[in-house]
Amino acid sequence: MTATNARENSFATAPCLVLLCKRPAPGHSKQRLAAQIGAGPALQIAGLLLDCALEDLQQWPAARVIAPDHAQHLAWAQALCPQATVLGQSAGNLGQRLNALDQQLRQLGHRQLLFIGSDAPVLQQTDFERVTALLGSADTVLLSARDGGVVLMASNRPWPELSQLPWSTPLLGQALAECCRAAGHSVQLTGEYFDIDHREDLLLLESALQADSRPARINLRKSLTTLGEVLHG
């Protein structure tokens, strides 16, 4: 058996990968970053980060879903990844939108669901493989972020009510794990990653991508080098 076949077999029961995203536009994405490095550079970074997430989605060997935050962006999202199912996000905070997507997808027959955003380009294929393996023994798997959040959330079971969680705060990861455990989930936390919200995250990213040979990551690294003066203030 070749290495490629072995990897394909290991993903034979892979979960459905769901990418939640925004269409990069001035005033619409990466606003905290825009306040620190300027609207133009932040918009450029948002587009490149989305390319990295799409790179992961396009390489996923099982069911794929792309979920833009507005219904008017459905055609745009479908063009980004023609092989994926496109579902628009509902209204409400992130917890409400995740619950609604989760319910839709489970009604379509998906049992294992893995959710990512477009702001964690440090994720590797091995991370997705590890999550898939951990879902064999845990109900829910969370990849933790250094700032207290999460960069990936996966589960075999429907998510509990998520609307009251402290989204976009350092308390999120712990609160999400506790919420799932209170609903009867066995929870596995793993990793310590970082996502891209602030200027200092870009400085970490520039170093983290040095040895990354994936095309979208190479483009992102080159752009970070070009934006050097902006990033370093």
pLDDT of residue 233: 63
Q: What is the mean pLDDT of the segment spanning 163-167?
A: 95
Pairing of strands 16-21, 113-116: parallel
Residue 21 CB burial class (10 angstroms; 0-12, 13-18, ≥19): buried
Which residues are CB-neighbours of 96 under 8 A, at least 6 positions away? 90, 162, 163
Q: For residue 150, is pLDDT > 70?
A: yes
Count, residues in the chain: 233
**Phi, psi angle pair for 164, to nearest 5°:** -95, 5
**Lowest model confidence (mean pLDDT) among 25-39, 72-86, 200-214:** 25-39
**Lowest model confidence (mean pLDDT) among 38-52, 74-88, 151-165, 193-207:** 193-207
Tell me how crowded residue 145 is: count the other CB atoms within 10 A of its CB. 21
Domains, the chain: 18-226 (3.90.550.10)
Q: For residue 61, is pLDDT > 60?
A: yes
- pLDDT 10s digits, 106-135: 999 999 999 999 999 999 999 999 999 999
d(CA 63, CA 171): 31
Q: For residue 1, is pLDDT > 80?
A: no
pLDDT of residue 22: 92
Contact 17, 65 (CB under 8 A): yes
pLDDT of residue 163: 95
d(CA 45, CA 120): 12
- pLDDT 10s digits, 24-44: 988 777 888 888 889 999 999
Of 10-19, 25-34, 35-44, 213-222, the range with the highest mean pLDDT is 213-222
Pairing of strands 113-116, 64-68: unpaired
Strands across the sheet containing 187-193: 85-86, 64-68, 16-21, 113-116, 150-155, 140-145, 187-193
Q: For residue 164, is pLDDT > 70?
A: yes
- Helices 215-226 & 199-208, crossing angle to 10 degrees? 130
pTM: 0.91
In the chain, the percentage of residues whose pLDDT exceeds 70 is 93
Structure tokens at 106: 């489970």
Question: pLDDT-derived band of residue 13, with 50, 70 and 90 as boundaries?
Answer: low
Q: For residue 7, is pLDDT > 60?
A: no
Tell me how crowded residue 169 is: count the other CB atoms within 10 A of its CB. 12
pLDDT of residue 14: 74
pLDDT of residue 231: 72
